[in-house]
Structure 1
Amino acid sequence: MRQVMKYLQVSIVIVALVLAGCVQTIPKEALKLSPSSLEDRQMQTRVYEDVTEEQILSASVAIIQDLGAQINESETDLGLIVGEKMRDATDAGQVAGAIVLALLTGAATPVDKEQKIKFSLVTAPESMSQNSERWSVRLTIQRKVWNTQNQLSRIEAIKEPEIFQGFFEKLDKSLFLEKQS
């Protein structure tokens, strides 16, 4: 009987230790902003004056669609637009490397096949007043890449300044023309 009790106690301790090891905590670095986060936000954001939120959203929808994306979500009351497009993600260098590796090892290596690019645009009044004539517009772009085995191989934020500059130049022109008419 004594051995059974001792065995039961040891079993309980082992189960408790195993369960304690399964508890996941959020890593401290997950809550830290990256050193480039301020630069990224500045690249992704513009402020517009003397236009309405509706004008900004309408022009933004047109530009996102011109970029080949379909609008999936549009919550004008919240100032939110989300669009997505599918594109080929094949990279000749990656394919060549996979072929060389396959010749050397005899094993097939998956390569990137397709990607989904997601545009998210949010508007917010610059002041606390809802009658603000200054609007902050922030665009973020992410992409998900799948390989030839249909596995998600990468999720990443797009951070090329030229892409954001091009978008905001188009938005500037569109809002300028809207003001003139």
Structure 2
Amino acid sequence: MLTPLFGCVAVEPASTQLQIREFQTRTYPVRDSKLVMKALINALQDEGFIVKHANTELGLISATKETNVENPNFALLMGLFGGNEARWRKVAIVECSANVTEFGDETKVRVNFQVKTLDNRGEVMDARSVSDAEFYRQFFSKVDKSVFIQRQQL
């Protein structure tokens, strides 16, 4: 893409913490945190996450998803030319933390995601929070469907 070389590119300003919290949170018109937690767990499992912890009393869920991001050709080149000190991206781990709370006649869900990239030695190369509103919108769309299914007992 040559646009940055020849023209102005609009850069979106960074979201504030309040804006991030807003798109990380969804409220469901049901006063049943257990039902919503089950729906959330089902949505996470449908996306390939492994639920590590779930505490219905506190309304907390933690889950992870691992993906191999290693490029075999790059790994081979790094191994051949980089010697023992060669490092390359091997695994991406997406971590999810969810908080489910009954609030009046509703149930509020707040989720956040973090992506860690590990190298061929298992060391963290980088870690970043997911702060993309569209990512959360798509995730909550899946949770919405799961809540509907749970409520219908399908």
The answer to whether the superposition gives a TM-score over 0.5 is yes
More strand per residue: 2
Work out whether residues 143 and 157 of structure 1, in 8 Å CA contact, stay in contact via their aligned partners in 2: yes
Cα drift, residue 42 of structure 1: 0.9
- Equivalent position amino acid for 1:114 in 2: V
Q: How many residues align?
A: 140
- Equivalent position amino acid for 1:174 in 2: S
Residues 106, 78 of structure 1: alpha-carbon distance in 2 compared, 3 angstrom cutoff: closer
Give the alignment of 1:1-181 within 5 angstroms: 36-90=16-70, 109-126=86-103, 132-181=104-153
Cα drift, residue 59 of structure 1: 0.5
Normalised by the length of structure 2, the TM-score is: 0.75
Residues 106, 67 of structure 1: alpha-carbon distance in 2 compared, 3 angstrom cutoff: closer
Cα drift, residue 111 of structure 1: 2.0
Q: Cα RMSD (Å) of the superposition?
A: 2.9
Work out whether residues 32 and 102 of structure 2, in 8 Å CA contact, stay in contact via their aligned partners in 1: no
Cα drift, residue 100 of structure 1: 9.5
User: Which has the higher Rg, Structure 1 or Structure 2?
Assistant: 1
The one of the two structures with greater contact order (alpha-carbon pairs below 8 A, sep at least 6) is: 2
Q: Distance in 1 between matches of 2:67 and 2:78?
A: 26
More helix per residue: 1
SS in 1 for 2:111: strand
- Equivalent position amino acid for 1:149 in 2: R
Residues 174, 101 of structure 1: alpha-carbon distance in 2 compared, 3 angstrom cutoff: closer
- Equivalent position amino acid for 2:146 in 1: S
- Equivalent position amino acid for 2:129 in 1: A
- The equivalent residue for 2:7 is none
Structure 2 gaps, min length 5: 1-13
Normalised by the length of structure 1, the TM-score is: 0.65
SS in 2 for 1:54: helix
